[in-house]
Amino acid sequence: MKLFQKLIIGMLLLSPIVIGILLSIPESDENPSVPGGRFKKLGLVVIDGVIMESETTIRQLQQLRDDNSIAGIILRIDSPGGATAPSQEIYRAVMEFRTSDKPVIVSMGSVAASGGYYIASAARRIFAAPGTLTGSIGVIMTVPLYKDLAKKIGVEMRTFKAGAYKDIASSYRSMTPAERQMIQDLLDDTHDQFISDVATARSIDKDTLATFADGRIFTGRQALKKGLVDTLGSYEEALSYLRKLTGVGENAKVVNKRETSATIRDLFVSEMIKVFPAAYKVFSPLGMQCLAVLD
């Protein structure tokens, strides 16, 4: 291999380290648009798709809360909902900002329903498009039943258990009336938690909220009339509102801590594979060690 080729390979493999060092250099907190120059940026957190975990979102919120250069956060939600516990955990993380000097504003995308709305309700202000689908304050559990199919094809499921209700959600037998009531009590309690948290966050009377918190969905325009959202507007309008609220000015950066490193890493990997695939295959262990600096 020629010396020139070795130099090119070395530069490609070392570039992530250089980029990582540049990204880690703290920026000055001076900002003439804000009295005292303490803040100058806004944070962006995106919740997209089904909500099955909370760690990633909570970690981003904590990083933005601890970053003294961040004046406020815009939370972009485009989700049909998901698991209860992660939605509750993110809701509580957003509620913690109520006692801080960093406002959290929600911008709803196409859908911000069920767990997506659960989280949104904790924000200081909610923006939705007129056609956004939101609401769906309810809880659902679906258990498939295969016993008739199994019997037809000659399959018998033998269950061994310790605990009378351990196979309560079995797909190979029908539930007893007592088991059905137990599941219903569980869902009712979860639903009550959902209603209580939304009522608290939105300052809506719980009994009033319960009259339409029955799983139905609303358009953004309908949700505004019910008090579930505050403003009809786009992401850009929500961002403009947050800029004015925090006083950072129209030129303030919007920082997404999760996407910054991932975008650079993915770009580097894809470009290296396209430009020099053979070298990437040969030096991939070293390449991955370098890329880890950007994580």
Query: Which residues form the catalytic set?
Result: 114, 166
Backbone angles phi, psi at 282, to 5 degrees: -70, -45
What number of residues does the chain have?
A: 295
CB atoms within 10 A of CB 59: 14
The structure tokens 């053979």 sit at 278
Backbone angles phi, psi at 102, to 5 degrees: -115, 105
* CA–CA–CA angle 208, 88, 101 (5° rounding): 90
Of 290, 204, 262, nearest to 46 (Cα)? 262
Query: What whole-number distance in Å separates Cα of residue 58 and Cα of residue 64?
Result: 10
